[in-house]
Amino acid sequence: MIDAGEIFIRPARTGDVPRMVELMEPLVTRRILLGKDLVALYGAVPEFLVACQVSTASGTSVETVIGYGAVHVMWDQLGEVRTLGVSDDWLGHGVGHRLLTALETRARDLGLTELFCLTFETAFFERHGFENVQEDGELVAADVYAELLRSTDEGVAEFLDLARVKPNTLGNTRMIKHLDQAPESV
């Protein structure tokens, strides 16, 4: 039995990227996550948090990354939860919940009031207060939309639901959460 209390969340470091890629590969193969180039992952390290398990062998503590997730600032009050994943061995043990809670805290600390995600895991995100984006609703003001159109970031294009990214979104659901400013405990 795995105890989720054995884990902690911390900011990612460059040395975590190979393990994150190892954990991402099965999800990319199953088309749950979009693959990311190493250069993009290294460039995004400051956006990532990792969940780590600490084990002790022969008196030495060993830290193993078992999950990861990022919050990316898209605009003044708007961010995106990106690339959230957990080792298959740790699914169902609260690791994803703890990561998402920590990402929401980070988003609040950055001054964000809305979080977007593009996901197949709709039930997980719904349990955490995310709602499906209404296709006919206006997500941002027209002037913000015009500015976001200038972005070269594919995540922004996915948020805007631009036709050019539809082949890459794998049929994911666009979801959004309005954050309250009271931080949750991790």
The total number of residues written for the chain in this structure? 186
pTM of the model: 0.81
Q: What is the full per-residue pLDDT of the chain (186 aa) written as tens digits? A: 454 448 899 999 999 999 999 999 998 888 888 788 899 999 999 999 999 998 877 778 889 999 999 999 988 898 999 999 999 999 899 999 999 999 999 999 999 999 988 888 899 999 999 998 876 556 666 666 666 666 656 665 566 555 545 445 456 788 889 998 655 554
C-beta separation of 65 from 16 below 8 A: yes
Q: Tell me if residue 163 falls in helix, strand or coil.
A: helix
Q: Which residues contact 77 (CB under 8 A, 6 or more apart)?
A: 111, 112, 113, 114
pLDDT value at position 102? Answer: 97
